[in-house]
Amino acid sequence: MIDIKDIVKPENLVFKKSRILTDNPMHYCPGCSHGVVHNLIAEIIEEMDIQDNVIGVAPVGCSVLAYNYIDIDWHEAAHGRAPALATGIKRLMPEKFVFTYQGDGDLAAIGTAETIHACNRGENITIVFINNGIYGMTGGQMAPTTLEGMVASTCPSGREHTRDGYPIKITELLAQLPGTCYVTRQAVHTAGSVRKTKKALRKAFENQTRNRGTSIVEVVSTCNSGWKMSPVKANDWMVENMFPFYPLGDLKDE
């Protein structure tokens, strides 16, 4: 019989977790996109060799505990205020890489003013924006990016624009601002899309050395718990419903 010890050998290693990712078990639900994006950020920090030179700003939302998983210095923001914190940090330490990690409620509802004005000033930071169209942490309420007709606990019969307003394409809006230099929308539901997102994130981080303005990477994501779907079904639903409204690709690359 083959023993596990015979398989786990250095010569058989084809993949390992980044050393920048801590050993803390992640609290995210199975199927959630956060873990994949965390891993990509950790890999980029390792590959760029900037662990001692990067400060992350964590949001309020499911990724409020992002600082438990990526082994760098972190600053936990109030809900929506991450771009303002990042502004303060980057202005005082322009030599550091500074990024925010925000969900849709954080970035596109309560933090709209901070997001728009940080981008409009062209703050030399990277914004990672997880858009899953729902409030995951508080239990599945309507988000600013919830699609019309999509069910959430505060729009149980589906979002209706006459009552709830329209889903906001905040990323398109940010691409209009002269302060942004790179605005892209990606996903992490397939191996190919994960690779593309990693490339986008790497470019968004590297842009900070060019001092050209704000870089934004939106990741259209699933929330299978909030959507009440299996991980596989949630991915299919995202492709069918989210992608037509939030199409993937670069919106701006200067």
Q: Which is nearer to other proteins, 78 or 151 (CB)?
A: 78
H-run or E-run covering 218: strand 214-220
CB of 132 to other proteins, least distance (A): 21
What is the token pair recorded at 205? 């981080």
Please give the Cα distance from 117 to 115 (Å, whole number).
6
Residue from 59, 62, 71, 188 binding other proteins (CB under 8 A): 71
Whole-number minimum distance, CB 88 to other proteins, in Å?
3
At 45, which amino acid appears? I
Q: How many whole angstroms separate alpha carbon 170 and alpha carbon 125?
A: 17
Q: Does 219 bind other proteins (CB under 8 A)?
A: no
CA-CA distance, 131 to 143, in Å (whole number)?
9
State the nearest-atom distance from the C-beta of 90 to other proteins, in Å.
Answer: 8
Pairwise CA distance, residues 233 & 221, whole Å: 13
Amino acid identity for residue 115 in this structure: T
How far apart are CB 141 and other proteins at their closest, in Å?
20
Q: Is 89 in the site for other proteins (CB under 8 A)?
A: yes
How many angstroms separate the CA atoms of 50 and 96, rounded? Answer: 9
**Using CA atoms, how far apart are residues 213 and 132, in angstroms rounded to an integer?**
26
Contact between 29 and other proteins (CB under 8 A)?
no
Residue 69 binds other proteins, judged by CB under 8 A: no
> Percent helix, strand, coil in the chain (nearest 5)?
40, 20, 35
Q: Nearest-5° angle of CA 208, CA 75, CA 115?
A: 60
Closest residue by Cα to residue 202 from 24, 10, 48, 85: 48
Q: Which is nearer to other proteins, 41 or 84 (CB)?
A: 84
Q: Binding pattern to other proteins, positions 94-133, x when CB under 8 A?
A: --x----------------xx--x----------------
Nearest distance, CB of residue 67 and other proteins, angstroms? 5
Nearer to other proteins, 137 or 194 (CB): 137
Could you tell me which stretch among 9-17, 78-86, 160-168, 241-249 binds other proteins (CB under 8 A)?
78-86
The binder of other proteins chosen from 40, 54, 194, 251 (CB under 8 A): 54
Q: Specify the 3-state DSSP secondary structure of 85.
A: helix
Q: Which of 78, 155, 173, 229 binds other proteins (CB under 8 A)?
A: 78
> Contact residues for other proteins (CB under 8 A)?
51-55, 57-58, 64-65, 67, 71-78, 81, 84-89, 91-93, 96, 113-114, 117
